[in-house]
Amino acid sequence: MDKRTITLMELILAIVLLGVIILSATAIDVASHYFFKSSDTKTQVLNEVSFILEHIQKNASLAHGWIDNPAVAIISNSLRIRVDDPNNSTPENFGDDLSLTYTFSNTNHQLTYNNGLTTETLSSRIVDNPDIDRDGFPEPLFSLSSSGTEVIVTLTARYDPSEPVDPKTNPEVSLQTRVFLGEHSFN
């Protein structure tokens, strides 16, 4: 028997080891794609909600009003913020102020922003808020604090709002922020 040849047993063992290595690499690749996809969809939803909260906070920081004429009004699923028009700079005249409105429509899951001239859809992933504080009622989208000095914004979004929540394929995120109003805008 020649010493340079391999036996059938060695050949089978080599093929089995090669198969195990290929299966392991394939399993790692498939799992990493699956986990990357689930984290990517959650990140997309989180980024969209974060942008909206920053947008609202930026405009609410410009709110302009007095105790008898508040700068912020919450009506159902809408938040209206009155800001002084930067073109005319008349802080004492509320009649020429701009009215910025954020409106949520739960039928099409859209949150829109209207600046008086144009309407822009900020998101089509917003869903009704869950009961975050466990008091038996879902959280309102927009609310004022008891002191009236801050707007509480609670947004819940889902990757596909028409489908049920699935942590892997259809994640849902809820974010809440408090926007402190300047002294000139307390109601």
State pLDDT tens for residues 130-156: 766 667 667 788 888 887 788 889 889
Residue 187: what pLDDT? Answer: 45
Helices (H) and strands (E) in the chain, counts: 1, 9
Single out the residue of 31, 36, 46 nearest to residue 159, CA to CA. 46
State pLDDT tens for residues 3-47: 677 788 888 999 999 999 999 999 888 887 777 766 788 888 999
DSSP 3-state of 8: helix
Residue 142 DSSP one-character state: E
State pLDDT tens for residues 56-104: 999 888 888 877 788 888 988 899 998 887 777 777 777 778 889 999 9
Q: What is the pTM of this model?
A: 0.74
Neighbours of 101 (CB within 10 A): 16
The mean per-residue pLDDT over the stretch 161-165 comes to 89
